[in-house]
Structures are given as C-alpha cells and as structure tokens.
Structure 1
C-alpha cells in the first residue's frame, strides 16, 4: 500500500476526476491520508444538489436518484493489533449524506449505521467496492412505490448529461420499462404478457429473468432477446446473482407453494403457458416466508441450467436493490454455502432491522432468522449488530 500512497499528487488528482460517482470519490478518499487530501469535497455546510428525475405516469414523482456501493470494509495493516485485530473485514453499504459525508448502511436492510469519528475513524479502514446499488426516493426516507428494481441504462451514462440518462426498471406486476430523461412516458419492453422478476448487469451487459426462469439480454437498441432456455422453476421469486464470473438463479419457494407447483408436470406447465398466453395465479398460493430455495447455474456453452447443490465457500446476498456473491474466506466469521435474504412479511411488521434478515443454509436446507443464529451476523458491521 505504501507505493500507492506515494503516488504524485497530480496523478491522484487525475484519478479522482475520473470518478463519476460521489460514493466512488468518498471511497477513494477513505483509502489513506494522502488520497484523502488529494481529492476535495464541497464544504460540509453546503448541501449538495440532488439529481431529481421527473418520472412520468403512472408514478408522477419527482424522484431523487440515490447510488450506493456495497463494499468490503477492511482494517488497514497498521491497525491489525487494535481492538478489531480478530477481524478480517465486514460487508457494508457505503452512501453519502446530503452534505457529502460518508454514510455506512447495512447492505440488506439499508439501515443507517450510526457512528462518531471518535468511535470509528474511517481513515483506519479501506473500502473495496464489490457492487453498485441504485434506488429512487421521493424523499430521503421513502422509496418510489411501484418500481421494484432499476438500473441506469446505459450504465456508463454520466449523471451530469441528463440528455443521455435513462433507466431500465421492473415495475408493478413485473412489467419491464424504459424511460429516458425528457420522455413524456415509459416504453414497455419485451412481451407484455410476461412477468419479469429481476434485472442484473453482467459482463457489462443488461439481463432480465422472467417468472418462468428464462433469461433475456437487453440489446442497446432496447430489443429483448432470449439468452437462456426456460428454467421452469415454480418458485415465487427468482433472483439473478453473478458469482465467480458465472450467472446463477436463486428460485425461492414459499410456505405451501412447492407442493402446489409439484402438482404440475412439464406438459401441464407448457400447456398452461401457451393456452393462457399469460402468467396467472399459478404460484400465488402463499405470501409467507421462503421455505425452500433452489440454485441453478447457467452453462453458457451447453445452453442449459445446472442444478447447484452446494455454493462451497460462497455466500449469496439477495438485497432489494442489488444481489452479489462473496467468499466467506474474506469476512470475519463468515460461513459459506448459504443465502442471506429479506423476508417480506417480517420486513412489513418489523421494518429495517436484523429481525427481517433470514439465512438459508444449503447444507441442511434450513431457513432461520438472523437473530436466531447470531454467529452468521459477524460478516456485517457493526460486529454483533443483532
């Protein structure tokens, strides 16, 4: 690290000016003292103007675009003998306040982690970005209802160039829409009868998955092109996750749902799809917690889905605004071969707390609340936050 810390000031200045996101700049400044002083931020008593998007119907919202970064938070080597010497690193989400100050959030609940400079000196830590997350808020506290998930399209568009700025969004009832700043309405993409569950940027390309497990590539021209065969998984919710360069799907089954799906064989399912021409309430049998999860890996060469029995040392983290895969070897106390996720019912009742986080273990196919198995919380900051 000392060699990087000794980079000339003019080189650090050039690097910092190439960072589009203020979150990236905040992480850049948190690397070390020399990097911090090489990149300036506006005065903390001056509020930073927010990027406001005037979304057309059906939302009718002036939405604030919020970007955060999911990071591995590591102690610098000179502090390995401190109070935290037993730890390797923690998983956090990094955002910013309206005055440009760095904020730490739980990567699943988005709950703000409160700290003071005396209790946590961020110069003692470095941040390794693992993924980016985006959200649209009506204010600093409420999300725009009706938008399930979205990503900027194209991802390289600069926020300062609003003429080129657009978003891909999965909206209410699973519709896939595109909107560019200045458009008077949304452009619906793909088959209008399909329900899309998730969207991901993988290998610098945009992909979505529908409720039957078919992955589609979003061409720059906005054409939706089938990329994978259908999975025909009957779970309620499908999440796309990139892990070690490969694309995975997590198929969630809810209480009472799996037996309903298993009542249909392959021919029944296909007959239902093509005769009805739409996705109906075949899987709307339950709204309770996830009782089972199945994981599949896309074999690009063979064009088939592989049923995954073990994630080995990998941990899948299914957030509401982004999902990612991490290695338990990189985190303090982490245990691999499991999936962290938010439960909708607990989220509604308990809000953004550890009580709403669940862990599914593939080894014994069990699902528990994080506060029941606190040893699984050690990957998060602060330690023992449950």
Structure 2
C-alpha cells in the first residue's frame, strides 16, 4: 500500500505527510469516488486498499436486485418463445457483467483478457465465470481466491436476459436491452425483442408488458444507446429509435451495401455500429457500418479504429483501444452459423473475422485469439485446462 500511495503523491520530502492523509479522506470525497466506480467490483477493490477505507465504505445493496421478478408476457408474447409450452408464474431478468482485466503496469503489450461474471445467488459478492460470447456457458472456477489488486479492471458492458426460471435456463425473449434513464426520465425500463420480431417494453413498477405498435414490422436487434432505445428492422438494416411515447421513429432507411439479413448493433467509443452478417450454406460473411454524425446514414467502415467487436448470444459489445493494448486490431468475434437445405440455421463455432483480410478463422486456431477470451490457465487446476483446448 505504501508503494502505491507514494506513487500517487510523488514521494519527496512531504511524501510521508501526504501519505498519512490518504486513509483519512473525508467521507464525502470517498462517496464521490464511489459514484464513478462499478458498484460491485470497483467498490470491492477500493475497500481493499486499506483498513480505514474498508470500514468507511459499506457495500450498499443495489437499487435493483437481480434476478428481478417481471410479469408474464401476454399470450401472444409467450407464444413467440421457442419453447412448446408457455411459461407460468413470474419471469426473471438476469444481469451479467463483462470486465477487461489487464496485468500490473497497464497499459501493456500483453493486453489482458475478458471475463464475464454472474453473482452467486447464495453468496453475495462472490462470482461465477462465464464464457464472454456464448450464453451461460460456465467456465471452470479458479482454484484460489483472486486478489482484485493484482489487475487493472475496466467495466466493458452489462447484458441481460429474461427467463422463465430463477436459474436462467429457459429464455423467452430473443434479446433484452435495459435503460436506467429512458429519455432523461431516470426510469428503469426493459425493452424486449420477441423471437417473432415484435417489441415489448416494461417500466419498473408496471403490472404488465406493453406491446409497441409496429404495424407488422419485424425487428432484428435492439440496443440501449445514449439513454434511448434503438432497433434494426425489416432485414434491411433500417435504424429505428423508440421514443418516450413508445413510438418507433425511422432514422436510417436501410443499408446501402450489405444484405441486412442478420444485423447486430454495437456501441464503441460513443459511436453506434451495425455488424451485417450474411449467412448462407457456407457460413457467414461480415460487414461493418457506422452511424454518421447526423444520424441519418450507415457509413461503410473498412476498419474498427483498431478496436475489437464481439457479437455473441444475447449481447454484443466492443473492446476499445483505450482499454485494450494487445496485438489484435479490427477483429470481430462471432458465433458462425450456416443454413441447412431447408434454410434453417445450424449452430456453428466461435470464429474471429479480420476486417483487413476479409477472412474468418476458428477461435482456437490462434493462441492470441483465444487468449483474449479466457483467463490465464494458471488460475485453474490442470484438469480445467482441457476446457480451454
């Protein structure tokens, strides 16, 4: 701790005097710091700095506790689930968080790695590791307690799913987006995309879901971006904004290039992108478009400004260059699918698409591809190494 504080104060003849003031920071200063941190991992790390801060900073319960009980979908909403039996009882909203961990001395050419976690239900402030791309694919757990001060930790994104059960096994919505500031009203709002392509919305405290009137339109993907909801529609890459009156407003007519058959919305460095996935019986081809400054056109992008995109089950996110300093640039991690003879989708493997070469590779064909998605093998027992190979 002394070395860390000396580095902050700059040492010198007054270093000891300045150092002694850190544990005695006023409570309002510490509170201001916590407002800027992730409420889970960030505050846990801050409390671990010294005994004084640990006693001053309590782990306050979040305003929203997960899994959060939600009302059932209406019969027309439930019928859009892939399950043959409509759900009964309550639905549950589950939260997952993706972090980027980098080694000491960040930024570093070693880059770092992603972890996706869910909080253990019966043990507060303990977490289970999940695959950052595949839905609920549980990783082996570390064989020793982790010291959160050993790495720099950045919050990458939060993702959500709605299921019929507390364990999150049967998902009933294709995609879920959550906003805590819907059109500047400070509300907790859930937007759901049905498997049929319709849209539903639920505000905290509502007794039921509200179906958004879309006149038969079919939506492909949804996202919470700049405190508003956006969606792509009609298998053409049309961009639609959902306003506070729950009215879809067309912003971008369609993709000028690309198929628009399967689109995925991604936010990166404050910009909104769409990844266009063209699927045939040979697999997938990807193209990337960025929303222009005026919000009226999709501009075709030849690169990702050296960032890395992830298109996964129920959530898409990006790893910006301001967080990641490793050897991968302008790559898209995605789950490849192909079509059978009847046009149905067949689940495939995780692949990495290189925008510069316009080629895809299996994730485990390259150690540097796989390294970004998994914690170090030193965290696990030898038996767990089989999972990562």
Structure 2: how far apart are the matches of 1:195 and 1:54?
Answer: 23
SS of alignment partner, residue 296 of structure 1: strand
Say whether residues 1:171 and 2:194 are aligned partners.
yes
The 1:7–1:94 alpha-carbon spacing in structure 2 relative to 1, beyond 3 Å, is farther
1:197-216 mapped onto 2 (5 Å cutoff): 197-210=220-233, 211-216=235-240
Structure 2: how far apart are the matches of 1:92 and 1:374?
Answer: 17
Give 1:6 shift.
4.6
What is the match of residue 268 of structure 2? 243
**Residues 71 and 208 of structure 2 are in contact (CA less than 8 Å); yes or no, is this contact kept in structure 1?**
no
Alignment length, in residue pairs?
332
What is the match of residue 293 of structure 2? 300
SS of alignment partner, residue 131 of structure 1: strand
Task: Specify which of 239, 250, 255 is matched with residue 231 of structure 1.
Answer: 255
**Residues 177 and 187 of structure 1 are in contact (CA less than 8 Å); yes or no, is this contact kept in structure 2?**
yes
The 1:302–1:12 alpha-carbon spacing in structure 2 relative to 1, beyond 3 Å, is closer
What is the match of residue 70 of structure 1? 98
Which piece of structure 1 moves more, 109-118 or 62-71?
109-118
**Residues 313 and 329 of structure 1 are in contact (CA less than 8 Å); yes or no, is this contact kept in structure 2?**
no
1:260-299 mapped onto 2 (5 Å cutoff): 289-290=283-284, 292-299=285-292
Structure 2: how far apart are the matches of 1:192 and 1:144?
Answer: 29
Structure 1: how far apart are the matches of 2:28 and 2:207?
Answer: 43
Structure 2: how far apart are the matches of 1:37 and 1:319?
Answer: 40
**What do you get for the CA RMSD once the two structures are aligned?**
3.6
The gaps in structure 1 that reach 5 residues or longer are 257-287
Superposed CA offset, 1:173-232 (max 9, x none): 111111345655532224232111111122222211112111111112212111223215
SS of alignment partner, residue 237 of structure 2: coil
Superposed CA offset, 1:21-77 (max 9, x none): 9x722332134433555444599xxxx884322323333452332222222113344
Task: Specify which of 90, 96, 115 is matched with residue 113 of structure 2.
Answer: 90
Which piece of structure 1 moves more, 85-94 or 215-224?
85-94
What is the match of residue 27 of structure 1? 42
Structure 2: how far apart are the matches of 1:344 and 1:187?
Answer: 32
Structure 2: how far apart are the matches of 1:29 and 1:194?
Answer: 45
**Residues 163 and 172 of structure 2 are in contact (CA less than 8 Å); yes or no, is this contact kept in structure 1?**
no
What is the match of residue 14 of structure 1? 31
**Residues 230 and 239 of structure 2 are in contact (CA less than 8 Å); yes or no, is this contact kept in structure 1?**
yes
Which piece of structure 1 moves more, 188-197 or 114-123?
114-123
TM-score, normalised to structure 2, is: 0.72
What is the match of residue 222 of structure 1? 246
Give 1:134 shift.
1.3
SS of alignment partner, residue 214 of structure 2: coil
SS of alignment partner, residue 190 of structure 2: strand
Give 1:130 shift.
2.0
What is the match of residue 381 of structure 1? 374
SS of alignment partner, residue 39 of structure 2: helix
**Residues 339 and 359 of structure 1 are in contact (CA less than 8 Å); yes or no, is this contact kept in structure 2?**
yes
Task: Specify which of 74, 97, 103 is matched with residue 57 of structure 1.
Answer: 74
SS of alignment partner, residue 71 of structure 2: strand
The 1:295–1:321 alpha-carbon spacing in structure 2 relative to 1, beyond 3 Å, is same
The gaps in structure 2 that reach 5 residues or longer are 10-21, 79-86, 340-344, 378-387
What is the match of residue 359 of structure 1? 352
The 1:318–1:240 alpha-carbon spacing in structure 2 relative to 1, beyond 3 Å, is same
Structure 1: how far apart are the matches of 2:26 and 2:191?
Answer: 38
Say whether residues 1:189 and 2:199 are aligned partners.
no
Say whether residues 1:310 and 2:303 are aligned partners.
yes
**Residues 74 and 125 of structure 1 are in contact (CA less than 8 Å); yes or no, is this contact kept in structure 2?**
yes
What is the match of residue 335 of structure 2? 342
